[in-house]
Chains A and B, each alone.
Chain A
Amino acid sequence: MKLPRPSCPLCPFLLLLAATLLAAEPPLTLDQAFAQVPSYDYGQPDRALHFLELEIARAATDAPKKAQLAERFGAILADAKSTHAAKVWCCQQLLLVGTEAQVPMLAKLLDDEKLAEMARFTLEGIPGEASLAALRTCLDKFKGTPLMGAVNSLGIRRDAKSVLALAKLLVGPDPLVAAAAAEALGKIGNAEAAAALAKAELPAKQTGALHDAQLRCAQLLAAAGDAANAEKLCEQVWASKRPVAWRLAGLAGLVKVSKEKATPLVLDALGSDDELIQASAVQLTKELPGEKVTAALVQRLEKLDPKGQALLLNVIAERGDRSAAPAVAKLMDAKDDVVRSAAIRAMASLGDSGLIPRLGAMAANEKGIVQQAARAALAALSARDADERLLAAAAEGEPAVRSELLRAIAARRVPNATPMLLKAAADADESVRRAAFDALGVVGAPECYPKLVELLVAAQGDTQAIEKAILAVGARLANPADRATPLIAALKAAPTAAKPSLLRVLGATGGADALAAVRTHIMDADAQVRDAAFRTLTAWPDAEPADDLLKMAKDAENQRYRVLALRGYLRLAGEVKDEAARLKMLEAIRPIATTAESKKFLLGMLGDAPDAGALQVATSFLDDAEVRSEAAAAVLRIGQAVLASDRQAVVAAMKTLLEKCKDEAVVKQAEALHAQALKPPQAGGGSVPEYDKKRSDGMKADVAARAPKGYKVVCYLNCGPDASDGEKGKPTLRVGEANAYRWPGADIRHGTCFFTSDDVNFEATGLNPRKSYQLGFSWWDCDHDTRAQSVWAGNTKLLEKTKLPSGAKGEKAVEKVVPIPQALTAKGSVRISFRNEAQPNAVVSEVWLLESEADGPQGEAGAPAPAPVGGASLPREGAKKVLIITGIDYPGHPWKQTAPILADILRKDARLAVDVNDNWKAALASPKLADYSVVVLHMMNWETPDPPAETLANFQKFVADGGGLVLVHFACGSFQKWPEFVKIAGRVWNPKMRGHDPHGKFAVEFTEVKHPITEGLKPFETLDELYTCLDGETPMTILAKATSKVDKKDYPMAFVLEYGKGKVFHSPLGHDARAFAAEGVGELFRRGTAWAAGLPPVAK
C-alpha cells in the first residue's frame, strides 16, 4: 500500500496523508506487519512495530474497525508463543484501540507475575465498568509496588466504589501504599474520602501526597456543591501548625469556596510576620473583589510594616477601586521611599486628574525611585480627562514643573498637542522651550515641520533641542524628500547667524539635495557658516562626501580645515563595514600626506579612529624615517585601543614594530602589548555579535579556498553568530541546542563559539545521497589548556579524542577536515556532534560542510586525510612510512600528548607518512613492521616485563634488515634485560648514573656540522630534561650536545649509528609537550627520521 507524498508543503487546504520515507524494502501490509509482531524481541528489527503504531491510529476511524484491530492485539497477547516483548508492546497499543472486549483477557493476565503490571496499566486506559471491576480485584491480589499501581489506577479512574478499600490501605502498615491510597482518595474526592483523609497521618516523606489529597478533596467537594464540608476541610488545613505552604493552600482553597469565611482570615494574614504568609495573603486579596474588601484593605494598610505596605499598594492599584484613593494618597508622603513610590504609582489608576499638579511637583523636585514613580504615574494616569488637564496645566506655572508635564505629554502620546507645544516652544523660559521641543520630537504632527524650521531660524542661543525635534518630526514625514526642501529654502533666506544650525540639520537629514546645498556653503563669506558647512560634511550620515573630504584634506585653505576634513574622512572610513573598502579609503589618504607635518597629523588622526585597518596604515609608516617615532607611537596607541576587539591584529602589528623600531622605550611598550595580546582574555565574555551575512560569507569564501580537491563548501557556520546556513531543498547545516559565546578580546571568527557541557551538535539535512560529504571545522581552547573533544556523525566516531590548541599557551585555532561515511549521509541527514572528552566543556568555532562535485561513492579512500592548517602537510605519493610505537612510559612522560605532537612534527615533511600505534607489544611483534621504513620508539616499558624473545627478535630483524630506527627520550630505558639493545640503540639508560639535570632551559649545540642531518642547523635553546644517564660503548657519531649545569660536563643530545643494514638516530630530548615546542627540536627529529628512512634529511 503506497502512500502519496505531500505535494505542496504549504497548501493549507490539502488533506495531506501520512508520508513515510520510501525505504529500500517494499511497504508492509497490515497483515504482514501483524505477522511479524509475535516474534519481536528487544534489539531486533522493528519495522513492523513502527508501521503499526501509526497505522492503527489512522485505521481506527470507527468502532468496528477499532474492535477488529484490538482483537488482533488481544490474540497476540493471549498466544503463549508470543515473546514477552511483543506482549508488552501489544498492551501499549491497546491503549489506543482497546475496548471492553479485551478486559477478560487482560484480567486473566493480572495473575501472570510477568505481565500483571502491563495488564493493570492497560486496564487503566480502557474506559468502562468492566475494567474497573478487574482493577478492584488487584487490591486483594497485589502487594507492594504493583499494589500501588493498582491503587493509582483506581484513583485516576475516580472509582467511588473503592473508597472503603482505599481507606483501609490508608491506615495500613505500608506507608508507601498508604500514601498512594491517600492520593487516590484525593482524586475521588467525595465526602467519605474526605472523612478518611481528615483522620490520616503519614510519615514526613509521604505527607506531600496526603496534604495534596486533602486539598483536592476540598476542591472536588466544592465543585460537587458540598460547600460545608469543603469549607471545613480548608479551615482545618489553615489551622494546622505547619507546613506554612500547605496552610496557605488551605486558605486559598477557602477563598475559592467561601469568600465570606476567608476574608477575615486573609486580612489578618496581611499583618503576619512571616513574609511568605504576608506576600501570599496580598496576592489572595486579588480574589476578594468589592468595595468592602477594598475598605478593609485600606484600613489595614496604615498599620502594616513598610514591606507589607509596598506589596499591598501594588495590589490595591490593580483593583482600580477609587475608594482607596484618599488612603493611598496619604502614603505618597510616607517616610519609606519604597512605599512612597508604590503609592505614587498606585495613584495612576486610582487618582483623578486633580493630582497632576502634585505629581508634576514631585517629578520636578524629588530624586531616585520617587521621581521615577512620579513620572511613571503622570505617564499612566488613567483619569479620562487627564490628557486635557495635562495640556492645560503645562501651559503655565513653574518652569521645572511645566517641563515634567511636557515630558508626560510626550510619554502619553497625547493627541492634538502640537498647537500647545508650539506655543510652549516660544516660551520665555529656556527649560520649558527645551522640554516643548523634546515633546514635539515625540508627538509633533508632521505638518508642523515647516514651523519648526521657522523656529530654528528665529532661535537664539542653544538650538540643540530644536534641531533634534526637527529631525524626529522629519522622520515621520511620509515623503522623505520633504525633509530637505524646507531646510534648503530656509537656508537661502536665513540670516547668517541661523545658517550654521540649518546646515547641521541638513547634514543629519542627508540626501543628494542636502549635500549640494551644504557644498555651496563651504565657500561662504562668513567664517562660522563655512565652519558649520565643513563640519556638517565631516559628519555626513553616509559616505557620499568622502571624495569632497579627501580633496579638502589636501586643498583646504587652512590647516584646521585640512585636519577636520581628514578627521571626517577617517570617521567615514571607520563606518564603512566592508574591511577591504575601508582599507582602500585609508590608503587613499596616504598620498595626500606628503609633508612630515601632514603625515604626523594623519598618524595622530588614525589614533582617533582605531581599528585593524588604521593599525595597518600606521604600521606602514614605520618604514618612513621622517615619522618613524610618530608611527611607532600611533601603532602602540591604536594597538592598545584595538586590543579588546582584534588581538590577532595587535600581535602582528607588535611583531612588525619590534622588527623595525629599536627605541628602548618603544620596544618595552611593544613587548608588553605583545604579551598582553597573547594572553587569554579574562572573565566577562559572552555577548556574541549579531549575524552578519557579508562577514560570514567572507569567512566561507576563505575556507572554500582551502577545500580539498573535488569538494566545495555548501554550508558554513561561524559558530556563535550563525545558527544555520543553507536553502530549502539544498544541504542545510543548523545548530542544535547550544549556547553562543564570545571570548572577551577574541576575534569574531575563532573567538566566538558554540558550547555545551556535553556535546555541541548540528543537524546536516538536505544531503544528496549521490554525493559524498566531508566535515570541516575549526576549534580553539581559547582560555584553557584542558579541552579535548571527539567528533561524531550520528553514532560513528569521525575523530578520536583530540586535544584542542590552547589560546592560554599562545596557540591559534586549528582547522580540520574529516570525511563523513557515505552510509550516514545517504539518508539525507546526519547529526554532527563535538563531544566533550575532558574539561570544562565542548566548544567549536566554525563548522562547514563540503560536498563532492562528482557523483558516486567516494568512500574513505577517495577523500583526503585530515590535515591541520598551518601544521603538517599531506604525505606525497611514494612517501616513506613511519611508525611511532608508543603506549607505555614512565608515568611522568605524557606519551598520549607527545606522540601526536611528534607525529605532526614529522608529518611536516611531506615525504613521511606517519602512523601511531599505542599497542607497543603487538606492534613490535607484528610481521607488518616490515611495511614501514622507520620505527620511532616513543616508549619505555616502565615496571612492565620485557616482551617475549620472539618479539624482540622481530624488532631486531627489522632494524638489521635495513629498517630505520629513531629513539626518543626514555626509549633508551626500554628492554633493560636485553643485552643486544645497547648495540641497536647505541646507548641505553644506566639507572646507577645520575638521571638528568633538573628540568629547565638549556642550549643544544652541534658538534658535527658536516653530517647531512645537522648541516646548516643552528644551535637552539629548549626546555627539557638534560639526560646524563646514557651508557654504553657502541661506536656512534655524536651530532649534538648540551652542557650540564650541575657538573659542567657535556652530554650527547643526538647521535647516529648503524646496526646491520639499518640506520639509527637517537635523541634523549622530548620529555613532554613543551620539550617539542622549540623549532630546533622538531627540525632535528624530522631530519633524523628522514635520514633513518634513507632520504636526504632535507627535501630538495
Chain B
Amino acid sequence: MGHAPSRRRFLGAAAAGIAAPYFVHGSVLGAEGRAAPSDRLRTGHIGVGGQGSGHFGACVGNPALQVMAACDPYESKRESNRSKANARYAEQIEKGTFKGCDAYADFRDLVTRDDIDAVFIASPEFWHALHAIWAMRYGKDVYCEKAMTLTLYESQAVRDTVRRHRRVYQLGTQQRSDRNFRFAAELALNGYLGKVHTVKVAVPGGSAGLPIAQPKPAPPGIDYEMWLGPAPWKPYTDTHCSFNWYFIYDYCIGWIGSWGVHHIDSALWGAPAFHTGKVEIEGTAKFPEQGMGNCSYSWRVNLLAENGQRMFFTDDGGQPHGVRFEGDQGWVHVVRGGIKAEPESLLRLSLKPADIHLYESHSHHGNFFDCIRTRRDPVSDVDAGFRATVTTIIADIATRVGRKVTFDWTAERFVNDDVANSYLRRPMRSPWTL
C-alpha cells in the first residue's frame, strides 16, 4: 500500500501555490500523448450507476489518470463501465503496459489493492461512510458523492478517519468550484449586503410516493447482499434498488438531504453562524402516507442562529429554487447557471485584498487531484461536508419530531431531546460497522 518509491511526479504550479487546474508537465507525457503509466494517478470507482458513470468516464478521458477498477453490485453496470475503459485503453493493453480495468461486486476487493491511489464513491448514501472509511484505512484518498453520509454518527466517523489517517477527502458538493456560489458567499461575508439577516434555501422535493412493492427473489446480475450492506434486511423488490432508494428512509433521508446538501453547503459558506454554537430548528414536512417511500417530499424548516440570523429551508414549491442571502443593504440569489443581485452593481464588484477571499477552485475534480499531490485540504473538505450534511440531517429530524429542537454544534447533539438524538445514529446489520 502507498506509493511506489520510483514514481516521478512533477508538482509544477500546484507547488508554487498558484491555484491552477491539475496538469502534468509536458515533459512527462509519453509517446501516447498521456503521462507514462508510472506517473499517472490511479483511480478506483465504487458505485458506477448514473452519477458514478459520469465520474468514471471523466477519469477515463483524463490523460493524467489511469482507471484501474469499477465496483458495483450490478453486474451490468460494472461490466459496461469496464468495457468503456478497456476500449479507451486498448493500445496500452495491446502493448502490455496495462493489464486492463477490473470489475468487482465487493468493494473490499477494490480498496485493498496496492495499485490504486484514489477512490471515487458514488454508491447510495447509506454506503458512503463504509466505502469512504474502508478506502481511507487502506491509504486511498477519496472523492465521495454527496451527501456525506446517512447519519451524523457516520459523518463523525468519516471526519475522524480523514483526520486520523491524513487523507485528502473531497465531497461532491461541486458548487464550491462554481464562481457564482463563491462570489455570493463572499458578498455576504464581507458586508457588501449590509448586515445579512436572512438566508433562504430551496431545492427540489423529490418523489411524493412510491408503490407498495412486491417482494421477489433478487435477479441474477445483482449481488443483493452487497447492495443492502448495512441497511436493515428486507426482501428484494424491483422498486427500491435503483434511483428510488433516494426516497426510502433506510437508505437516504430524502432530497431534503441529498439535494439539500448542495445549497445548504453554499449557504453555510456565506453564513457560518449556522454551524456555530447552538442553533434552534423547527419544521414540518409532508411524508407519503403509504408505499415504499417514506422520506419527506415537501418541507418548511426554520433555523435560528445565535447571532440572530434566520434561515428558511424549504423545497422549491415553497420558495424559488436556489440560495439567497438577504441583508439590510441588498440581496444576492444564486442558482446553478445564474446569479442575481440587488443592487445589480454588486455583480460587477471585485473584492479588495483585505476582504475575506474564499478558497478558489475552478474544477472540482482538478482541485481534488491537485490536493492529492500537495496533501492540502480540498475546497469541499470533510469539515465543510460534515456541516452541510449534518445541517440537512438535523433539519429532517426536526420535521420528524414535530417540535422545536436545539442543536449544539460543540457537543454535536440535540439539547434535551432523547428521541431527536436517537436519530443521530443507526445500528448496522452484521457484519458492517464503523
- Chain A residues contacting B204 (CB-CB under 8 Å) are 734, 736, 763
CB <8 Å contact, B433 and A183: yes
- Chain A residues contacting B16 (CB-CB under 8 Å) are 310, 314, 338, 341-342, 345, 369, 373
Interface string of B309-341 (1 = CB under 8 A from A): 010101011110100000000000001111000
B179 within 8 A of A: no
CB <8 Å contact, A212 and B212: no
Interface string of A964-984 (1 = CB under 8 A from B): 000000000000000000000
- Chain B residues contacting A650 (CB-CB under 8 Å) are none
CB <8 Å contact, A45 and B212: yes
- Chain B residues contacting A317 (CB-CB under 8 Å) are 17
* CA of A632 to CA of B299, assembled, Å: 61
CB <8 Å contact, A152 and B428: yes
Interface residue ranges of B153-171 to A (CB < 8 Å): 161, 164-167
* CA of A630 to CA of B383, assembled, Å: 66
Interface residue ranges of A718-764 to B (CB < 8 Å): 721, 723-724, 728, 732, 734, 736-737, 739-740, 756-759, 763
Instruction: List 11 additional contacts besides A15-B403, A338-B16; criterion CB under 8 Å.
Output: A16-B282, A44-B212, A46-B291, A57-B419, A58-B402, A212-B165, A245-B166, A275-B373, A283-B375, A413-B352, A829-B208
Q: A20-B286, A212-B164, A276-B3 are in contact. Are A765 and B139 (CB under 8 A)?
A: no
CB <8 Å contact, B300 and A828: no
Chain A CB within 10 Å — which of B166, B286, B287 has the most?
B166
CB nearest to A212 among chain B residues: B137
Instruction: Tally chain A residues at the interface, Cβ within 8 Å.
Output: 119
- Chain B residues contacting A95 (CB-CB under 8 Å) are 422, 426-427
CB distance from B362 to the nearest CB of A (A): 14
- Chain A residues contacting B112 (CB-CB under 8 Å) are 204-205, 208
* CA of A548 to CA of B49, assembled, Å: 61
CB distance from A289 to the nearest CB of B (A): 18
Interface residues of chain A: helix, strand, loop or mixed (majority): helix
CB <8 Å contact, A46 and B290: yes
Interface residue ranges of A18-44 to B (CB < 8 Å): 18-21, 23, 42-44
* CA of A148 to CA of B207, assembled, Å: 36
CB <8 Å contact, B15 and A50: no
CB nearest to B425 among chain A residues: A125
- Chain B residues contacting A948 (CB-CB under 8 Å) are none
CB <8 Å contact, A10 and B319: yes
* CA of A422 to CA of B7, assembled, Å: 56
* CA of A219 to CA of B242, assembled, Å: 40
B94 within 8 A of A: no
Other-chain residue from A246, A274, A734 in contact with B139 (beta carbon distance below 8 A)? A246
Interface residue ranges of B199-220 to A (CB < 8 Å): 204-209, 211-215
A176 within 8 A of B: yes
CB distance from A1099 to the nearest CB of B (A): 46
Residues of A within 8 A of B (CB): 6, 9-10, 12, 15-21, 23, 42-47, 50-51, 53-54, 57-58, 60-61, 66, 88, 92, 95-97, 117-118, 120-122, 124-125, 145-146, 148-149, 152-153, 155-156, 176, 180, 183, 204-205, 208-209, 211-212, 215-216, 219, 242-246, 248-249, 252-253, 273-276, 279-280, 282-283, 307, 310-311, 313-314, 317, 338, 341-342, 345, 369, 372-373, 379-380, 411-413, 688, 690-691, 721, 723-724, 728, 732, 734, 736-737, 739-740, 756-759, 763, 765-766, 795, 827-829, 831
CB <8 Å contact, A242 and B12: no
Top 7 closest A-B pairs, CB basis? Answer: A149-B430, A245-B139, A244-B2, A243-B1, A152-B433, A208-B137, A310-B15
CB <8 Å contact, A757 and B50: yes
* CA of A740 to CA of B304, assembled, Å: 35
17 contacts between A and B (CB under 8 A): A17-B402, A18-B284, A19-B284, A50-B290, A61-B403, A121-B429, A125-B426, A146-B430, A153-B427, A205-B112, A273-B5, A310-B11, A380-B353, A412-B353, A413-B354, A724-B316, A732-B317
B88 within 8 A of A: no
CB <8 Å contact, B234 and A42: yes
- Chain B residues contacting A829 (CB-CB under 8 Å) are 208, 297
- Chain B residues contacting A149 (CB-CB under 8 Å) are 429-431
CB nearest to B161 among chain A residues: A212
Other-chain residue from B18, B418, B427, B433 in contact with A372 (beta carbon distance below 8 A)? B18
- Chain A residues contacting B312 (CB-CB under 8 Å) are 10, 12
- Chain B residues contacting A372 (CB-CB under 8 Å) are 18
Other-chain residue from B18, B287, B337, B426 in contact with A691 (beta carbon distance below 8 A)? B337
- Chain A residues contacting B191 (CB-CB under 8 Å) are none
* CA of A274 to CA of B290, assembled, Å: 57
CB <8 Å contact, A314 and B15: yes
- Chain A residues contacting B399 (CB-CB under 8 Å) are 18
CB <8 Å contact, A53 and B234: no
- Chain A residues contacting B137 (CB-CB under 8 Å) are 208-209, 211-212
- Chain A residues contacting B429 (CB-CB under 8 Å) are 117, 121, 149
B401 within 8 A of A: yes
* CA of A61 to CA of B393, assembled, Å: 20
B138 within 8 A of A: yes
* CA of A209 to CA of B167, assembled, Å: 16
* CA of A46 to CA of B319, assembled, Å: 32
CB <8 Å contact, B335 and A723: yes
CB distance from B302 to the nearest CB of A (A): 5
Cross-chain pair count, CB within 8 angstroms: 276
CB distance from A837 to the nearest CB of B (A): 13
CB <8 Å contact, B18 and A369: yes
CB distance from A310 to the nearest CB of B (A): 4
B400 within 8 A of A: yes
* CA of A43 to CA of B433, assembled, Å: 29
B108 within 8 A of A: yes
CB <8 Å contact, B290 and A124: no
CB <8 Å contact, B353 and A16: no
- Chain A residues contacting B319 (CB-CB under 8 Å) are 10
CB distance from A842 to the nearest CB of B (A): 10
CB <8 Å contact, A18 and B285: yes
CB distance from B71 to the nearest CB of A (A): 15
CB <8 Å contact, A43 and B353: no
- Chain A residues contacting B287 (CB-CB under 8 Å) are 20, 50, 54
CB <8 Å contact, A42 and B402: no
CB <8 Å contact, B316 and A734: yes
Interface residue ranges of B346-364 to A (CB < 8 Å): 352-354
CB <8 Å contact, B286 and A19: yes
Other-chain residue from A153, A279, A732 in contact with B373 (beta carbon distance below 8 A)? A279
CB <8 Å contact, A283 and B376: yes
CB nearest to B422 among chain A residues: A96
CB nearest to B259 among chain A residues: A737
- Chain A residues contacting B53 (CB-CB under 8 Å) are 757
Chain B CB within 10 Å — which of A54, A244, A345 has the most?
A54
CB nearest to B262 among chain A residues: A737
CB distance from A33 to the nearest CB of B (A): 12
CB <8 Å contact, A724 and B427: no
* CA of A1003 to CA of B242, assembled, Å: 52
CB <8 Å contact, A758 and B316: no
- Chain A residues contacting B167 (CB-CB under 8 Å) are 245
Other-chain residue from B54, B212, B285 in contact with A46 (beta carbon distance below 8 A)? B212
- Chain B residues contacting A763 (CB-CB under 8 Å) are 204-207
Interface string of B397-434 (1 = CB under 8 A from A): 00111111000000000000011001101111111110
* CA of A372 to CA of B205, assembled, Å: 47
- Chain B residues contacting A279 (CB-CB under 8 Å) are 373-375
Other-chain residue from A20, A153, A252, A373 in contact with B289 (beta carbon distance below 8 A)? A20
Q: A125-B427, A153-B427 are in contact. Are A15 and B419 (CB under 8 A)?
A: no
Q: A57-B400, A216-B164, A413-B353 are in contact. Are A739 and B375 (CB under 8 A)?
A: no
- Chain B residues contacting A152 (CB-CB under 8 Å) are 428, 430-433
Chain A CB within 10 Å — which of B5, B211, B242, B304 has the most?
B5
* CA of A732 to CA of B1, assembled, Å: 52
- Chain B residues contacting A97 (CB-CB under 8 Å) are 419
- Chain A residues contacting B239 (CB-CB under 8 Å) are 795
* CA of A121 to CA of B231, assembled, Å: 11
CB <8 Å contact, A338 and B15: yes
